[in-house]
């Protein structure tokens, strides 16, 4: 983005991960600023930067490769580490701490809703039974007990995949942050400005798709209200193209792109 940005342009980056912020602040460019915050606070971040309107917003949703690749962050079941999962380890409650106090029903609901896991009840029961003997504090512990509770799984998918996804989403309140960030981002676009969102699983994409569809549609009016079509206010945003998925070449170079979906919406007028 900086390579294509004009000399008077500005690029504001927002990330809740202190390690990502530290990496970004190593970029020496007077046009660039990185803020330690979350997507849902984009309006506040822009206000503090003295920016009323922007020409573009890119939301790259979900967990990052550095987070997945570092066992100490607790995001991945592939290598053992503390069961943390917080994108910002300086704030909030870790996955281990939540599993230690949550009721079985709540655990099952989170795994079923955020992981779309059909064995959520069995997994929640196994977690509660295990914690009566010892705390569930590591990724290997959790992955092992999930594998014992899940007896069938899609070919090529680890039994723990959906559970880890669900806990990560819950701990970081990812869907709630996305629901806040989408209207806030659209509301700050200048005429001709675009919001681009890259999501990585169906729950995220469902929220993005619905939000963009509603924003680009005429307002819903009461049934049988005597209003001429010409009198209905035109939407101020429009969808740009169809959803874009990674192609074979990109997936070969970056396998984690296989589930990525990109959607774009553009502001027509203020």
Radius of gyration from C-alpha coordinates of the chain: 21
How far apart, in whole angstroms, are the C-alpha atoms of residue 151 and residue 171? 26
Q: What is the pLDDT of residue 84?
A: 95
Q: Check pLDDT > 80 for residue 242.
A: yes
DSSP code of residue 63: -
Q: What is the pLDDT of residues 160-204, one digit of tens each?
A: 999 999 999 999 999 999 999 999 999 999 999 999 999 998 999
The band of 227, judged by pLDDT with boundaries at 50, 70 and 90, is low
Q: What is the rounded average pLDDT for all residues in the chain?
A: 91
Q: What is the pLDDT of residue 19?
A: 94
Q: Would you say 171 and 234 are in contact if contact means Cβ atoms under 8 Å apart?
A: no
Per the listing, tokens 């939301």 go with 59
58 vs 230, more confident: 58
Q: Check pLDDT > 80 for residue 226.
A: no
What distances in angstroms separate CA 214 from CA 27, 156, 217, 254, one per listed residue? 37, 36, 5, 32
Whole-model pTM: value is 0.88
The band of 231, judged by pLDDT with boundaries at 50, 70 and 90, is low
Q: Check pLDDT > 80 for residue 270.
A: no
Crossing angle (nearest 10°) for helices 139-149 and 161-172:
130
- Residue ranges in the chain assigned as alpha helix (H): 18-24, 42-48, 65-69, 95-101, 104-115, 120-131, 139-149, 161-172, 174-187, 202-215, 248-253
Half-sphere exposure of 105 (CA within 13 A, CB side): 0
Q: Check pLDDT > 80 for residue 221.
A: no
Q: What is the pLDDT of residues 52-88, one digit of tens each?
A: 999 999 999 988 888 988 999 998 888 899 999 999 9
Q: What is the share, in percent, of the chain residues with pLDDT greater than 70?
A: 93
- For 131-154, what is the mean pLDDT? 90
The band of 223, judged by pLDDT with boundaries at 50, 70 and 90, is low
CA-wise closest residue to 207 among 181, 233, 235, 188: 181
Q: Would you say 169 and 175 are in contact if contact means Cβ atoms under 8 Å apart?
A: yes
Q: What is the pLDDT of residues 117-135, one digit of tens each?
A: 999 999 999 999 999 999 9
């Amino acid at each position: 983005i900086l390579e294509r940005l004009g000399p008077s342009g500005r690029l504001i980056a927002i990330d809740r991960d202190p390690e990502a912020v530290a990496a970004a602040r190593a970029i020496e460019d007077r046009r660039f600023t990185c803020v330690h915050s979350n997507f849902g606070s984009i309006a506040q971040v822009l206000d503090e930067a003295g920016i009323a309107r922007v020409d573009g917003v890119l939301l790259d949703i979900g967990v990052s490769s550095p987070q997945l690749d570092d066992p100490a962050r607790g995001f991945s079941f592939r290598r053992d580490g503390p069961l943390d999962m917080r994108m910002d380890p300086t704030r909030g409650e870790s996955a281990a701490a939540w599993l230690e106090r949550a009721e079985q029903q709540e655990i099952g609901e989170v795994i079923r809703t955020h992981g779309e896991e059909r064995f959520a009840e069995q997994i929640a029961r196994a977690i509660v039974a295990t914690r009566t003997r010892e705390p569930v504090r590591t990724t290997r512990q959790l992955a092992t007990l999930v594998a014992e509770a899940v007896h069938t799984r899609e070919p090529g998918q680890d039994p723990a995949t959906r559970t880890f996804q669900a806990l990560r989403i819950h701990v970081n309140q990812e869907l709630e942050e996305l629901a806040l960030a989408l209207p806030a981002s659209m509301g700050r676009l200048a005429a001709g400005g675009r919001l681009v969102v890259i999501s990585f699983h169906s729950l995220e994409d469902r929220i993005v798709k619905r939000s963009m569809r509603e924003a680009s549609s005429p307002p819903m009016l009461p049934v049988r209200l005597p209003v001429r079509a010409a009198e209905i206010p035109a939407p101020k945003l429009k969808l740009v193209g169809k959803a874009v998925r990674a192609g074979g070449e990109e997936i070969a170079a970056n396998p984690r792109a296989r589930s990525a979906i990109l959607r774009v919406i553009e502001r027509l007028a203020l």
